[in-house]
Chains A and B, each alone.
Chain A
Amino acid sequence: MSVGTRLASAVGADRYLENPVERREALLGYLLILPAVLLIAAVILYPIAYNIYLSFTTVPLNPAVPPEWVGFENYQQLLGSPRFWGAFQTTLVFTVGSTILSTIVGLGVAMLFDRSFRGRRLARGLVLLPHVTPIIAVAFVWQFMLSPLWGTIPNLLADWGIYTSQVGLLERSSTALPVVVVFSAWRNFPFAFLLFVARLGAIPNSMYEAAKIDGAGAVAQFKDITLPELKGTIAIVVLLRFIWEFNTFAQVWLLTRQVLTLPIFAYQSAFANFEQGLGAAISLLLFIIQIMFVIGFVKLFGEEKV
């Protein structure tokens, strides 16, 4: 036995190598997947590994000078800084807030659209617009609408006597965070809506009819039929949105500079203050948190499919 075949049988590949047809298939399989694997390795896996290394270094401004190993210094600096913990807290508030809000609004609109009415097809298409429009466009129109000087919303609120401040909602961190949460929910509720509307349509109408005959009101029907039927979808929506909101950058950054979440902290450290090692350390912490949720996701939903 040659070294090659012994190696092959050790990894259980001999089955594929005995039969010439299967061997050709396996070879073709590798050949076809190779470009994708090489690219993913080059732009994702290698950078993730390199990021781990960078997080233990100080990266000099001059690219010709190699990074200097500093051990856990970046991490010590981070864990000891109130700015980091503040950003962590802001990220949590933003993520939880926008996840919950977009899920609830998405569910509400899905239930609203779960019946026939004139123009439903068009309405369903239009409701998706916030989610598909380029972020740059919607972020700026929100900025414009909320601008204290020229914006229509503050002026309208002022006419009603609710709003008097000369400072914009996006210019103070205390009000910017709630606005970013609302903006994010506005942008992402169509995602929740799509998944919910699909699931709602699959609930047999006979279940509601039976409940009506038993005298169940709208609230009871929602609690005893709709919610249990949607349980799985709700879990998927919440988890996916949580994973993505936690690492979202442009959505917050383009709307206001007053909200410091961890991705923004990483970006600023690396590219505004040129502390790339520190930026890498924040990115790595984000990656670890994210990967825990991804694994949770796969464990919860993916076993049979993944």
Chain B
Amino acid sequence: MPDITKHLQQQISEARNQGHKLAIVGGGSKQFMGRKINAVQLDVGGHTGIVDYQPLELVLTVRAGTPLSEIETALAEKNQMLSFEPPCFGDRSTIGGTLACNQSGPGRPWWNSVRDQVLGVNLINGKGEKLRFGGQVMKNVAGYDVSRTQAGAMGTLGVMTEISLKVLPRPAITMTLSREMEHSEAIRFMNARAAEPKPLSGACWLDGTLYLRLSGAHSAVEATAKHWDIPVMTDGDTFWRQLRNQQLDFFAGEQPLWRFSINSSAATPPLKGPWLLDWAGSQRWYRGDSEMATMEALAEKAGGQVSLYRGGNRTGEVMHHQQPALQTIQKRLKHSFDPDALFNPGRLYSWL
């Protein structure tokens, strides 16, 4: 596939000259996230392709519009994987959108997040300049870590064109254990298991059932399953795939979906309605109507933050509020990358 970086730079320059705002769109699978904005679409979905893949280095460099499915197929051929298990919301989910929205799946507490696995990015700033930060090596402290700062910035700092990532070998074997368990006991149990030196790679609770995933060397997984003495679930891989891609029944329906990122061992906020506990309790999903301010207070009590992930009112704020001093810094950062506020204005916060 052709490199369309110059074309993107041209479009950015034109928008700058004409005073247009730009909505960056890759595969369009995460349009439901963030705030609604009114801007001209900048399509980066055509900027695809694996630029470099060195399995022995555990490093992959891809264009930002590359679909996750294409990347995962190439990695699977070398028995490797994107360890952060990005959610795929259809075939068009791209690696750029995954990083911009900081999306990671069930293995995140053990295998790191997309943010953690980023080694470098190429991006075009609001002046149309092509910039490169980070690189393709595991350790690099030259300059500020602009690459990881893209995680969760939702495209407000620039248009990512290329991303280098650390990849990992696929585990030799995966096994899922499950048993019925009450909600609060599950929180304690998941955290206690996560504190043991065992090959845990997933811990989730839903509808009165606890799910634990073990991944690693055959001997270690089998010995741990025996030691913990929890029934083995058949077809556990399907459960984790549906969890990762938000295809479980829990995620269906019209009720607003809230995401709590909190202390893994905190008591779940007292809200009536269905909960799904993932990441050993660190990521909790709640479905129900509520006010942002109420949810923020509950999240803070649990040591973390909340966002209105899907549905609900997307013209108001959907992300946990920022302290005034941090708000000032983020405004200045935005200005430093994008002085004319071209990219995704208001997508992350109304004031950004």
Bind each other: no
Mark B residues whose CB is within 8 Å of A.
Answer: none
Mark A residues whose CB is within 8 Å of B.
Answer: none
